Amino acid sequence: MDFHYTVKTTKTIEETISAIAIHLKEHKFGVLWELNLTETLHKKGVDSFKMPYRILEVCNPVEAAKVLGHNALVGYFLPCKITVYEDAGETKIGLLKPTAMIGLLNDPELKLIAEKIEKVLIDVLEKSK
């Protein structure tokens, strides 16, 4: 099983991030924070990293509260992350599959919730490309 789900798009990074935000709202998710990794590294003196790379931390507060109430260790995996970056001239959108991480806890109920969240996030990526 792959730990990630990644798709290509013809959109720019900015267009892609806008589309992601719109499609997240359809599922009561939102972007909590956006990291421009390239810019941050440059500010820290790392000029060798040229790849445009953004990391979005996304969350559905109701689902987050539900899983945290079930097992506080789930907080180690939250919030979910979606990456948007350029690689070899192509814009890519990817996410760490919630099922890949939650499987570490060996909890069937959490696995079902993670499968539901993963399906939603994959749908968001597909609609955003």
With 90 as the cut, is the pLDDT of residue 39 above it? yes
Q: Is the dihedral of CA 99, 102, 105, 108 positive or negative?
A: negative
Are the beta carbons of 102 and 110 closer than 8 angstroms? yes
Percent of the chain with pLDDT over 90: 96
**Average pLDDT, rounded, for the chain:** 96
The pLDDT-based confidence of 8 (bands split at 50, 70, 90) is very high
Rounded to an integer, what distance in angstroms lies between the CA atom of residue 28 and that of residue 23? 9
Q: What's the gap between Cα 40 and its chain centre?
A: 19
Q: Which segments within the chain are labelled E, that is strand? A: 4-9, 30-36, 53-59, 80-87, 90-96
Against a cut of 0.75, is the pTM above it?
Answer: yes
Rounded to an integer, what distance in angstroms lies between the CA atom of residue 5 and that of residue 123? 11
pLDDT in tens, 102-115: 989 999 999 999 99
Rounded to an integer, the average pLDDT of 20-43 is 97
Q: Is the dihedral of CA 71, 74, 78, 82 positive or negative?
A: negative
pLDDT for position 31 = 97
With 80 as the cut, is the pLDDT of residue 1 above it? no
pLDDT in tens, 57-103: 999 999 999 999 999 999 999 999 999 999 999 999 999 999 999 98
Rounded to an integer, what distance in angstroms lies between the CA atom of residue 128 and that of residue 6? 12
